[in-house]
Structure formats: structure tokens, C-alpha cells
């Protein structure tokens, strides 16, 4: 859900790929196309649909990378002794990406569970005190999830630096291309993970909290660039629950307020389902990605 004002800023900032024009494998062209598409999506306002498109694009990118890794040419090239470091780094990186994806999936599941519990209480048209108690529980959960998200963002920022692959000397053109692809795929995946985390983070309650989150994801911008402002589905619920809690305490809660927040909760529920489906699909592709690297490691 987009709006005219909010405390959040666009955090989608996918990296572009920079590959030589002459490529040695057909899948390279597809990889370059997919990474450019992700970069284009990263320039848009970070809406839930943008993120879901990013997940779809990332899954498609991993399909192309898997095809590249499974090609006899790549396996033969990376079986050489001087390429073992590249394979080992890629293998270590694949574990990090799988772990990060698992953490994101857990956060999504917790979000879905708490949203559905709140929906259930509001649909029963419970008393003001019951609604107030459940909203307080929901807001407490949102505060706890903020801490988990900040921790996860810090971890991603740290591993992002470690996953910058070294350049290889005296290797053929194909190995050099594979090295660049691995580095770009790692960067794109971590970038999208960070974008999802910030999208899910509570930001309406404390500006300082958002500033703390922002330092993990925002790149430097020129003074001419405008900061994109919007209200996403998560923020809409955070704002609505705070408002409804105040109304219930003042005995001013009415059916229209409840129906409005139920509508927003349904929208958020659909959004979360989309993230969940995309992450599940991506997780399976990450497993295949790791398996392909393992095959190269034993060659």
C-alpha cells in the first residue's frame, strides 16, 4: 500500500552485473539479462510487489546459474587446482545464503502467525479490553522482531564484505566469468534479503530505530537524488494498531475502525503469503545451487 508520507525510505538497491561483451557460455547472456532486470526493479519504490518480482527474478537467475555450473565446460575449468579457492568460497557462500534464507522464512512465519491471531480476535468482535490486550501483544511482538531484524541486518552486512571473491590471476576467460557471476549472485541475494528485512521492520514508533536499520542498507546518494517515500503494508498495520489501541483505551473504538484494520490485515496476509512462497522457491533453488557447487568440488 503506497501513501503520500511515511517514515520509511526505499531500500531496494540491487547491484548491477558487469560482464565482458564476449561470453563463453549461452547462459551468460541470460544471467546478464536477469541481473539487469533485478537492477531495474531495485530502482523502483520498494513495494511488496517489487520485492515479490525480485524474488521471482532471483529464482530465475539461479536457474541460469545452475545451468552454467552444470555445463561440462564449467566443471572442467573449475576442476583445476588453481580454481579450488573459487569453488571453496562459493561453497561457503552457499551455506551463508541458505542460513540467511532460513532466518527470513522464520520471521515471515512469525509475522503470519501473529497477524492471523489478531485477525481472529477482531473478527470475533471481542470486548475492548480483549482487543486492547491482543493489540498490545501484537505490538510487543513487533518490538521483539525489530531486534531480530537489526541483528540479522548486521550479520548480512558483515558477511557481505567477507563474500567478496578475490580476483584470480592466470585463469582462463571462462573461469573469470564464473568468478564474477558467483560474486554478483551473492551480492544480489544478500541485497534482496536486506530489503525484505527492512520492509518487515517496525519503523512508525521510533525514528532512531529506523536510522539504525537504514545504516545497514542505504547506499550514499548524490544531493540531486530524491528519497522515495511510501507506506508499505507492514507500516500501515503498525500505524493502525497503535491508533486502535488508543481508541480502545478511550472507549472510542467503533466497527468502522475494526473493519478498516481487518481489511489492512487481509492485505498484509496476502503480502506475507507472497513473500513466503517466493522464499520457499528461492530456498529450493539455493539447495540446488549448493548441490551444483558440491559436484564441482568433488570433480
CB 119 within 8 A of CB 266: yes
Q: What is the pTM of this model?
A: 0.80
Helix residue ranges, H only, the chain: 26-42, 48-70, 72-78, 84-123, 128-162, 173-200, 207-214, 233-249, 255-297
CA distance 25 to 121: 56
CA distance 195 to 200: 9
Domain that holds residue 63: 8-14+25-297
pLDDT in tens, 217-231: 444 344 334 444 568
Write out residues in the chain with pLDDT < 50, as ranges.
Answer: 1-23, 165-166, 204-228
Q: How far is CA 147 from CA 79, 140, 210, 212, in A?
A: 43, 11, 12, 11
Q: Is residue 73 part of a domain?
A: yes
pLDDT in tens, 238-285: 998 988 888 877 777 788 888 889 999 999 999 999 999 999 999 999
Q: Is residue 184 part of a domain?
A: yes
For 162-179, letters b (16+ CB in 10 Å) and e give: ebebeeeeebeebbbbbb
Q: Is residue 3 part of a domain?
A: no
Q: How many domains does the chain have?
A: 1
Amino acid at each position: 500500500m503506497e501513501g503520500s508520507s511515511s517514515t520509511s525510505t526505499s531500500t531496494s538497491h540491487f547491484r548491477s552485473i558487469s560482464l565482458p561483451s564476449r561470453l563463453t557460455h549461452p547462459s551468460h547472456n541470460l544471467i546478464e539479462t536477469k541481473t539487469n532486470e533485478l537492477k531495474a526493479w531495485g530502482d523502483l519504490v520498494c513495494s511488496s510487489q517489487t520485492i515479490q518480482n525480485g524474488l521471482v527474478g532471483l529464482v530465475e537467475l539461479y536457474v541460469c546459474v545452475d545451468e552454467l555450473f552444470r555445463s561440462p565446460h564449467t566443471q572442467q575449468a573449475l576442476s583445476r587446482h588453481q580454481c579450488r579457492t573459487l569453488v571453496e568460497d562459493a561453497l561457503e557462500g552457499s551455506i551463508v545464503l541458505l542460513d540467511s534464507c532460513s532466518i527470513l522464512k522464520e520471521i515471515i512465519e512469525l509475522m503470519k502467525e501473529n497477524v492471523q491471531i489478531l485477525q481472529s480476535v477482531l473478527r470475533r468482535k471481542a470486548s475492548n479490553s480483549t482487543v486492547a490486550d491482543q493489540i498490545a501483544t501484537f505490538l510487543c511482538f513487533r518490538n521483539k522482531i525489530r531486534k531480530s531484524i537489526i541483528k540479522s541486518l548486521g550479520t548480512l552486512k558483515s558477511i557481505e564484505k567477507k563474500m567478496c571473491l578475490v580476483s584470480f590471476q592466470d585463469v582462463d576467460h571462462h573461469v573469470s566469468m564464473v568468478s564474477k557471476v558467483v560474486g554478483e549472485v551473492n551480492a544480489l541475494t544478500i541485497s534482496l534479503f536486506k530489503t525484505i528485512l527492512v520492509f518487515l521492520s517496525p519503523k512508525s514508533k521510533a525514528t532512531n530505530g529506523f536510522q539504525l536499520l537504514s545504516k545497514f542498507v542505504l547506499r550514499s546518494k548524490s544531493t540531486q537524488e530524491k528519497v522515495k517515500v511510501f507506506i508499505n503494508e507492514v507500516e500501515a498495520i503498525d500505524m493502525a494498531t497503535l491508533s486502535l489501541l488508543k481508541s480502545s483505551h478511550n472507549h472510542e473504538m467503533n466497527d468502522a475502525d475494526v473493519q478498516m484494520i481487518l481489511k489492512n490485515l487481509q492485505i498484509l496476509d496476502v503480502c506475507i503469503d507472497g513473500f513466503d512462497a517466493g522464499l520457499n522457491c528461492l530456498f529450493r533453488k539455493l539447495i540446488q545451487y549448493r548441490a551444483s557447487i558440491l559436484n564441482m568440488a568433488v570433480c
